[in-house]
Amino acid sequence: MIVLYVVLAVVVLAAAVVVVRRVRRRARPAPPRRAAMPEILVRDVAPMPQLDVEPSLNQRLATSRGVFDRLRSITGARELSGDQLALVEEVLLRSDVGVATTSEVLEQLRAHGAPDGVAPALRQILVDSLRHKRSTSSTADEGRVAVWLFVGVNGVGKTTTIGKLAQRHRGEGRRVMLAAGDTFRAAAADQLEQWANRTGSDIVRAAEGADPGSVVHDAVGRASARGDDIVLADTAGRRANSSNLLDELAKVRRVADRPPGQVLETLLVLDATTGQNALSQAHEFLAATGVTGIVLTKLDGTARGGIVIAIERDFDIPVKFVGIGEGVGDLVVFDPETFVDSLLGAQR
């Protein structure tokens, strides 16, 4: 019974406060005022260092490589200098790869050296770390309807992703049903409906505040009756640290997986600007809904989305699609090599 412990904790804390306050009353006067902290910490945003491997892969990006010519010119270094490692560290950290994964990569570089240059060695390590099966499945068993479920926190672009994927499936000749399972956010269903119109898909929606499970259930039933091939089910954005909200999501998944529905993919939509919290998101959504893949959105900005390297490493969830713009066609299948190259060298 957690209640008692929580109460105990609060009481302990309150007791500590009381005691500290008493101790403080007796204690020394406030320390003398010191020089103020500068208000602007960083005047210039440092340009992202680059580790160009094959500039040709980055043709759509105007690259200016100054610092890194130095690094690239060093070929066949058995042992890397501290400066070189620091540079690699900077590239990785600035891409949101995270402290733990970065130190691991540095460790590998330190151990094996870089006989063919630092950039190719780093590229190889990163590409190797992205070796997961990335195929998606959209063909359900006989008599059932394929369901793709989209989950994620607020504002990552779930609804937009569904719109783009609907277009993709339509292009491949499937009949698509959209399920407006986000019954929480104001006008979310309206947004999805516009996508349905734009892509020529069917849609099932309910009033705001309705049970998302029932919306998805209706959508699957209707899709089956109409002979649609696939249901793309939207869900409300939710923070990943509330298990009540995650339980609700787990229920939606169970409902969707009941015949005639069959959940083939549960895609976690992740915003490329997200930092280390993405790990926590992956962990929680994986536990609640058995995430089968990631859609990395907003990769057309300046963010690199390096956190997916940590996610693939820690949770074995492959990135399957990448969102690279606002247009209906701006969703592509994830390609590790292109991703790593842009991580190392992309600069606009």
Partner 1 sequence: MFDALSERFERLSASLRSRGRLSDADLDRALDDVRSALLEADVELGVVGAFLSAVRERLSGQELAQSLTPGQQVIKAVHEELIEVLGATPLKVTYASRPPTVVLLAGLQGSGKTTAAAKLAAWFKQQGRQPLLIAADLQRPAAVEQLRVLARQVGVDVFSEPSTPLKVARRGLAEATRLGRDVVIIDTAGRLTIDQELMDEVRAVAKATSPHYTFLVIDAVTGQDAVRTARSFNEALALSGLIVTKLDYDARGGAVLSARGVVGRPVVFASTGEKITDFDLFYPERMASRILGMGDVLTLIEQAERTVDADVVAESAGRMMSGTFTLDDFLAQLSQVRKMGSLGGLMKLMPGVSKEMRTAASNVDEGELNRVEAIVRSMTPQERSNPSIINGSRRTRIARGSATSVGAVNQLLRQFGEMRKMMRQMGSGSAPALPGGLGRMAGLAAKASRGDQLPAGFEALGAGMASATTGSRVAKNKKKKGGRVTPPKQR
Q: Does 41 bind partner 1 (CB under 8 A)?
A: yes
Q: Does 333 bind partner 1 (CB under 8 A)?
A: no
Q: Does 23 bind partner 1 (CB under 8 A)?
A: yes
Q: Does 20 bind partner 1 (CB under 8 A)?
A: yes
Closer to partner 1 by Cβ: residue 74 or 245: 245
Q: Does 19 bind partner 1 (CB under 8 A)?
A: yes
As measured in angstroms, the least distance from the Cβ of 253 to partner 1 is 19
Site for partner 1 in 277-296 (CB under 8 A): 277-280
Q: Does 225 bind partner 1 (CB under 8 A)?
A: no
As measured in angstroms, the least distance from the Cβ of 98 to partner 1 is 7
Q: Does 46 bind partner 1 (CB under 8 A)?
A: yes
Residue 112 backbone zone (phi > 0: left; psi -120 to 50: alpha; other: beta): alpha
Q: Does 228 bind partner 1 (CB under 8 A)?
A: no
| Beta-carbon count within 10 A of 101 CB | 23
Provide the mask over 205-224, with x wherever binding to partner 1 is found by CB under 8 A and - wherever it is not: ---x----------------
Closer to partner 1 by Cβ: residue 166 or 240: 240
How many angstroms separate the CA atoms of 135 and 119, rounded? 29
Q: Does 157 bind partner 1 (CB under 8 A)?
A: yes
Q: Does 150 bind partner 1 (CB under 8 A)?
A: no
Spatial strand order in the sheet of 261-271: 202-204, 176-179, 230-233, 145-151, 261-271, 293-297, 319-323, 331-333
Q: Count residues contacting partner 1 (CB under 8 A)?
A: 84
Instruction: Please give the structure tokens belonging to residue 194.
Output: 């516009």
Cis before 55? omega within 30: no
Residue 251 backbone zone (phi > 0: left; psi -120 to 50: alpha; other: beta): alpha
Stretch that binds partner 1, among 165-173, 178-186, 209-217, 252-260 (CB under 8 A): 178-186
Site for partner 1 in 86-105 (CB under 8 A): 90, 93-96, 98-99
Answer for which of 150, 195, 285, 334 binds partner 1 (CB under 8 A) is 195
Provide the mask over 303-322, with x wherever binding to partner 1 is found by CB under 8 A and - wherever it is not: xx--x---------------
Residues 324-338 as b/e (b if ≥16 CB within 10 A, e otherwise) read: beeeeebbeebebee
How many angstroms separate the CA atoms of 321 and 109, rounded? 29
CB half-sphere exposure, 334, CA atoms < 13 A: 27
Instruction: Give ∠ CA 22-23-24 in degrees, rounded to 5.
Output: 90
Closer to partner 1 by Cβ: residue 33 or 133: 33
Stretch that binds partner 1, among 115-123, 221-229, 257-265, 302-310 (CB under 8 A): 302-310
Q: Does 68 bind partner 1 (CB under 8 A)?
A: no
Q: Does 301 bind partner 1 (CB under 8 A)?
A: yes
Beta bridge partners of 295: 269, 321
Q: Which residue has the tokens 């929480």?
A: 184
As measured in angstroms, the least distance from the Cβ of 70 to partner 1 is 19
Q: Is 37 exposed, middle or buried (0-12, 13-18, 19+ CB in 10 A)?
A: exposed
Strand, helix or coil for residue 304: coil
Q: Does 62 bind partner 1 (CB under 8 A)?
A: no
- Residue 139's closest CA among 173, 179, 181? 173
Q: Does 191 bind partner 1 (CB under 8 A)?
A: yes
